Chain A
Amino acid sequence: MDFRFTEEQELLIDSLEELLQREAPEQLMAELDERHEFPYKPWQALADHGILSLGIPEEYGGTPADIQTLTLVCETMGRHAFSLAIIYSLGIITIRDIVQFGSPEIKERVLTGFVQGDPPVALGITEPQAGSDAAALKTRADIDGDRVTFNGNKMYCTLAEMSKYILLMTRDPNGENPYESISMWLLPTDTPGLRYNKLAKVGWWCIPSYEVFIENASVPLDHLVGEINRGWPQLMANFEIERLALCAASVGAAEASYNDAVAYANQRVQFGRPIGSFQAVQHILTDMAIKIENMKHYIYKIAWMMDNDLPVRAEHAMCKLYVARASCEVIDSAMQVMGGLGYTMDHRVQRLWRDIRLMRIGGGTDEIMYNIAGPQLLKRAKLA
């Protein structure tokens, strides 16, 4: 079993790390976070460097890339500029859905702009009454001739008005099976009838989330992405990669916090010696290192399985469950090692600590991950 990356992957990571050090240095990311400002310039630098072109067809300015490469990109970004990694990961599902299911006109419209630096397409699925129970969404699409009119509410829609488009999920209330009544649409965010209310969150400060009020917002019918009533399976097709990308970003962030903690432990002197010389601190750091190793191997394995077209239904959920919790634990431990300094706004560990917590909730809660994996595991045991 060869655990090494390819030379191309290594070169890409080196190049990306240098880019991030130049364009997204810690000082800048901290400032943008504190000002709750979207990282436009670093994002544009990613675009100019071709990072946003990965996984997009060449005819739209894209560069073919396997999932392992995408994973490494997200992990590297997570380590240097977690916010950028999150933004990038959130775009994976919407952009890939468009690549897979969008009409040529929609692809032309969205993908070329994205490769050149547009913020990712936002996902409009969650609603005040539909979170984990996503299929309980009520936003409706009423078709009249060659136009479709939307009405409803979306909640925790990240990026929303900052994006050019929302990938909007609607449901036909008359459908028998909710999972076969959901449709997917490309909704330009400046369509009349849309109102945005920014939410105040404890973290992800430079990545705004909104409540979106949709009142008779109307677009041409050709804004349908894929097929009517096929929205749910279309969305699910790329949820696994999205979760993997978020996992990779989280692993990067966890490793960043570990690097900070171990450097601190070597330098901070208490009781006449560096605190890293105390067993208690060594135990904490060792546990952190073990979790980071585990998380890395898990995401690389899932990426490998996906690249080899192996089903990952239970596997990816288990990975997401583990990585979300373990990265929260690692970053929390980092804060513990760094003590008072870690709790102040002067140091980045507080930002990682606030930002990582959402990983256990967003992209599918821990509990939903159990719900996906659990039955699968028992089913497989029965079939064996």
Chain B
Amino acid sequence: MNIIVCAKITPDPSDIEARGDGSISLERAEWIIGGFDLPAVEAGVRLIEAHGGTLTVLSAGPRPIAQSKLKKDLLSRGPDALAMVVDDRLRDADTAFTARVLAQAARKLDGFDLVLCGEGSADLYFQQVGLQLGELLGVPTLNAVNHIALEGDTLVVERDLEDEVEVLEVPLPAVLSVTTDIHEARLPSMKEILKAGKKPVTEWSLDDLDLPDGSGNQSEVLRTSAPEQARRKQERIEGGPDEAAKKLVEALQREGLI
């Protein structure tokens, strides 16, 4: 099987800083591999381990995604190769732009049977790119997949929906967005970390991709600001457990709750 797994490398959202004017900046954040994408990598690796083939991780973004340590980190988790579209024009790319870039990159790679994507990116979590990608590639595309099995030539997946689970046979090639339940991502072992630096990495810029006209952001970011904080009393109830419990009950009484 030829599998591509899309992974987004983003600034770590837990490193956000609030600026004086109330806007939010990620300028000083460390760039990380999306936590929701790692289970997708793991799912791909397990399919290759069970059925043979190659796994390529595909990522697109601005310059910082191409840091040597991040490449090794991705490659230390089981894939055979890494392909990256690295271009500062992808800074703050929206889902439409990203999906088009990934689709073009996927077409440039050596054909695929399956593309796996995570639930959503670590920073925006819009849960859309995988679905847009599949539609652009013109292949079956589904989300919420938490189980994949290859039975002979048939791909059987389970789709974890709110009220039920759909068990589906999916024609290949296909693009699947998988949930974090699908597999726990393996931790890279020392052996894998040492091998990572020797695996092939392909780097393209947007100019290498022959994107169709009109590819680009289809939305404009107007403002990114800190969410409104509910103002809280922040009253500390002092004393040992019994005393604190009594005081808390009194407070709840005063609030009309008991």
Chain A positions within 8 Å of B, measured between CB atoms, are 7-8, 10-12, 14-15, 18-19, 49-51, 53-54, 63, 65, 69
Contacts and interface: CB of A to CB of B under 8 A. Distances in A.
A88 to B, nearest CB: 14
B-side interface mostly: helix
A53 B190 contact: yes
Task: Give the most central of A11, A18, A49, A50: most B CB within 10 Å.
Answer: A11
A50 B69 contact: no
Interface in B62-79: 68-69, 72-73, 76
The main secondary structure of chain A at its interface with chain B is helix
A54 B187 contact: no
B187 A18 contact: yes
Contact of B194 (A8, A19, A49, A51): A8
A12 B191 contact: no
A12 B187 contact: no
> What are the 9 closest A-B residue pairs judged by CB atoms, nearest first?
A50-B189, A7-B69, A15-B188, A15-B187, A11-B193, A63-B190, A63-B191, A50-B190, A8-B193
Contacts of A53: 190-191
Interface string B186-223: 01111101101100000000000000000000000000
Given A11-B73, A19-B187, A69-B190, 15 more contacts: A8-B197, A10-B69, A11-B69, A11-B76, A11-B193, A12-B190, A15-B189, A49-B187, A49-B189, A51-B190, A53-B191, A63-B189, A63-B191, A63-B194, A65-B190
Nearest to B236: A269
Among B76, B188, B194, B197, chain A packs the most CB atoms within 10 A around the CB of B188
Contacts of B188: 11-12, 15
A248 B11 CA distance: 32
A77 to B, nearest CB: 13
Interface of B: 68-69, 72-73, 76, 187-191, 193-194, 196-197
A12 B69 CA distance: 11
Nearest to A11: B193
A51 B69 CA distance: 20
11 contacts: A8-B193, A8-B197, A11-B76, A12-B190, A12-B193, A15-B189, A19-B187, A49-B189, A63-B191, A63-B194, A65-B190
A54 B191 CA distance: 9
A10 B188 CA distance: 12
Contacts of B187: 15, 18-19, 49
Which of B188, B190, B197 gathers most chain A CB within 10 Å? B190
